Amino acid sequence: MALVTRTEVRQLLHPHYLVNLVLASCYLLLRLVPPFCTVLFPTGDCQLDFRETEVLTFLAVIVLFRTRKLGVARLVPYLSTACMYTKVANLLLFFYWDPRLGVLYAAVCLLQLLVLPEPSYDGPDHVVYFHASTLREELERDRRVCWLVAFYAVWSPACVNLAPVFAQLAAKYTLDNLRFGKLDVTRYPDLAHEYHISTAAMSRQLPTIILFRQGKPAARRPDLEGSKLARFAFTEENIVAAFDLNNLYQECKQNPIRKKAPAKED
């Protein structure tokens, strides 16, 4: 995992993340700390039993597996993913002890989602949102324009984590001949199929970023290495390096699109 940045620390101070951490840790606190454990779990002894330990161990394995599979390399996405799975485990454990506790916990989690949703990127947005026909039209309209296009699904945590990173890259690197776009593969699966992107629930190809030059795919991440899909962490540094954005930016900047001057009237 990368070093924690000041921006990430400020993000974690947002009420959404603070409440998320409280909800994720509340089962252990209530289960192990008197007097909560004696009041809420009267048949227990303020210690985890074998089944609880088994569930929490399985949870730790799932969190490590999923974050590794998704290529999570930043603190905030890592904690968000961990909290999501932990809350599911907490829900099961509360139901295990008392269905009423499970219903109450589910209601509190739902209330958090409604009242304190995860903060979204609120900076400048230079990303073009495509549908199937507009992507093809833009790629063919002016082949001098390089396009970096992110293919995403709204339900994918990895795609959600990519959104602010991609928006920041677009704000930093956009030129007349270097543009950034996104396409929702759940709405346009035919286009995902055209570019060999799996949209399955367990797909490791979401998100996929493709660099188009001269209207054709020139590079993509994650990429296939033989018959295997190479794991890729979608951090800003990795994307810049993978697509050589600094050099591409300089190349596009030094070769701007020259607009035709309007014809003079006689």
Q: What is the pLDDT of residue 157?
A: 76
Q: What is the pLDDT of residue 124?
A: 65
Q: Is 194 a member of any domain?
A: yes
H/E stretch holding 216 reads strand 216-221
Q: Which domain holds residue 46?
A: 7-115
Q: Is 2 a member of any domain?
A: no
| 161 lies in the same domain as 245 | yes
- What is the rounded CA–CA span in Å between residue 172 and residue 174? 6
| 68 lies in the same domain as 131 | no
pLDDT 10s digits, 123-157: 667 899 998 788 888 898 888 999 999 999 888 87
| 90 lies in the same domain as 151 | no
Joined together, the tokens standing for residue 50 give 């074998």
| 149 lies in the same domain as 244 | yes
Q: Is 120 a member of any domain?
A: no
Closest to 133 (Cα-Cα) out of 84, 198, 188 = 188
- 111: buried, middle or exposed (CB in 10 Å: 19+, 13-18, 0-12)? exposed
Question: Does residue 181 sit in helix, strand or coil?
Answer: strand
User: If you average pLDDT over residues 27-52, what whole number do you get?
Assistant: 88
Q: How many CB atoms lie under 10 A from the CB of residue 105?
A: 20
Q: Is 169 a member of any domain?
A: yes
Closest to 149 (Cα-Cα) out of 161, 132, 70, 123 = 132
- How many domains does the chain contain in total? 2
Output DSSP code: residue 175.
Answer: B
Q: What is the pLDDT of residue 152?
A: 92
User: If you average pLDDT over residues 165-187, what whole number do you get?
Assistant: 92
Q: Is 81 a member of any domain?
A: yes
| 101 lies in the same domain as 181 | no
Joined together, the tokens standing for residue 233 give 């962490």
